[in-house]
Chains A and B, each alone.
Chain A
Amino acid sequence: MSHRTLSAQGLVVGYERGRPVLDGAALTVPAGRRLALLGANGSGKTTLLRCLSGALKPTAGAVTVDGVPLEHSRRGLRAHRQEVQLVLQDPDDQLFSASVAQDVSFGPLNLGLAEQEVRDRVAEALTLLAVDSLAGRPTHQLSYGERKRVAIAGAVAMRPCVLLLDEPTAGLDPSAVAEALAALARLQQHDSTVVMSTHDVDLALRWADEVAVVVDRAVVQGAPEDVLGDDALLARARLGRPWALTLGARLRELGLLPRGILPRDAAALLAALPDRPRVRT
């Protein structure tokens, strides 16, 4: 795997009640970075991800990988799917095989790889997602969180340069979210560029290197502190401000935090606080 830059320019996609779901949307997924795609329910996050993966052909605009435009021909899609993989929100939309290892082997076999290479990739993907102990288990007996990670392993086994995850933490309990995030961290160390859609602003702030908000059929992209600190934008996007930014700003006003970038999560916030409060007299 190597890092590639995935981009979309001027996307016009789908029509819902006479209006396009996306109208002139542009996005750049920087190579080797973690991008969180934010937006309210029905804002067009999944539509954008489907466009980026090639599953949906836009009415206008283009998707490019390292500047090379995606062609919606059989050959073009085949080449694109080796570079970019989409993991759908519901794992049952991807898992079709009776056992976990067999399901994960499906993608590599479609790449025309030799049997030993397929076995190696299956083992590697299952280890990366920490589901190697489930290899021989039937898919229908797995928990929802396990099924989500197996679905991601199915895409990872194809060794894509960019991995698009549609709400990978939706419906998971806190420990399953932690396991999923740990798996994503291992993937990034393994040279995958990861894009995750979510409507959890706190998760986006603490996880992402960059965030993009789908709002009013377009995309606003930037550094997490800038985008998630823009109250007017968040209100338009029907999202809340992350608690860490709200609390951090107040603590700074009180003189308890130094100037600079605000902490993104509880651990960073606690580390940034002084050992003893300065008592004003």
Chain B
Amino acid sequence: MTGLAVDEAAWSSAWRRRSPEDKALLCLGLVVCALVLPAWPGSVLVGLTAVVLALGAARVPARTFGRAVRWPLAFVAVGALTAVVQVDGGGLGWAPDAAARAGSLVGHAVAGSAAVLLLATTTPMSDLLPALRRLRVPAAVVEVASVVYRLLFVLLESLDTIREAQTARMGYSSLRRSYRSSGALAAAVLTRSWDRARRLQEGLAGRGMETGLRVLPEVRPSSRLFLAATAAGIAGIVAVSLVAS
């Protein structure tokens, strides 16, 4: 699963202990470059930088990065197709500047996605959520994200276990049985998640929860060297793009 691949990569990344704000600044800079600069060479440079940083400095496994990027790529491909195909009186056909439009769209989108994935594959949620809180994202939103993130793994485990038990008892041996088993699976996970939420509420109340889910964030000091390298790298991409275009 892509979500789990990203999570595993983030927890084992060499950039795991870097300040999330530093990484967010780098990735935001790359995303802005990907969107604002011309696709050639701007987006290409942004995409290459993001991939090289992820696979090189941050030591994200190439396979994991590939698994994480495949769904965004599929969306980009579908989006690009709808942008270059036109329907008129003569039926279905290519738009006049199809190649240029597709290239630009794909370039911007892939580069932007790679930059976002650089942040996602190097920053675990335990760092991202406190950073969001510091950026004044409403506490309720951060708390919901925190509980969803935790329960996601518990419910995925339930889902896998129930599905395995159904499969062992021939629950997916025909299309009709598959429909029935899938429905039962969804119902079981729904009731379990409801029950789990009730018990979690009780468990948290026992630990004194009255106003919200406050936890102590880990200290991740900012690196001046990293920030300077970020500024230099972004400036370099902008300069090369403007000169070359």
Contacts and interface: CB of A to CB of B under 8 A. Distances in A.
B147 A96 contact: yes
Contact of B202 (A93, A103, A115): A93
Interface in A125-145: 136-141
B199 A97 contact: no
Interface stretch (A82-90, A198-206, A217-225, A273-281): A82-90
A96 B214 contact: no
B134 to A, nearest CB: 14
Contact of A102 (B7, B202, B215): B215
Interface in A61-89: 74, 78, 81-82, 85-86, 88
A97 B214 contact: no
B200 interface: yes
B124 A55 contact: no
A154 interface: yes
Contacts of B210: 74, 78, 110
Contact of B146 (A85, A86, A98): A98
Contacts of B214: 106, 109-110
Contacts of B213: 96-97, 106
Contacts of B215: 97, 102-103, 105-106, 109
A125 to B, nearest CB: 12
Contacts of A155: 206-207
A67 to B, nearest CB: 23
A94 B200 contact: yes
Contact of A81 (B126, B147, B154, B206): B206
Contact of B203 (A93, A105, A111): A93
A111 B125 CA distance: 25
Contacts of B199: 88, 90, 93
Contacts, number: 102
Contacts of B7: 138
Interface in B173-202: 196, 199-200, 202
Contacts of A111: 208
B150 A118 contact: no
B149 to A, nearest CB: 6
Nearest to B4: A140
Interface string A234-269: 000000000000000000000000000000000000
B207 A138 contact: no
B218 interface: yes
Given A110-B209, A136-B218, A138-B11, A94 B150 contact: no
B216 A81 contact: no
A101 B216 contact: yes
Interface in B215-232: 215-218
B216 A105 contact: yes
B195 to A, nearest CB: 10
A103 B196 CA distance: 17
What interface size band does chain A fall in? 35 or more
A96 B196 contact: no
B204 interface: yes
A3 interface: no
Given A88-B199, A96-B146, A102-B126, A81 B208 contact: yes
A160 to B, nearest CB: 10
B205 interface: yes
A138 B124 contact: yes
B71 interface: no
Given A102-B215, A109-B216, A138-B126, A93 B208 contact: no
A137 B124 CA distance: 10
A39 interface: no
Contacts of B200: 92-94, 96
B129 interface: yes
Looking at A93, A94, A101, A107, the one whose CB has the most chain B CB atoms below 10 A away is A93
A102 to B, nearest CB: 4
B125 A158 contact: no
Given A55-B202, A92-B196, A98 B129 contact: yes
Interface of A: 53-55, 74, 78, 81-82, 85-86, 88, 90, 92-99, 101-103, 105-107, 109-111, 115, 118-119, 122, 136-141, 154-155, 158
Interface of B: 7, 11, 124-126, 129, 146-147, 149-150, 153-154, 196, 199-200, 202-210, 213-218
13 contacts: A55-B206, A85-B207, A96-B147, A96-B150, A97-B126, A98-B150, A106-B213, A106-B214, A107-B208, A109-B214, A118-B216, A122-B216, A140-B150
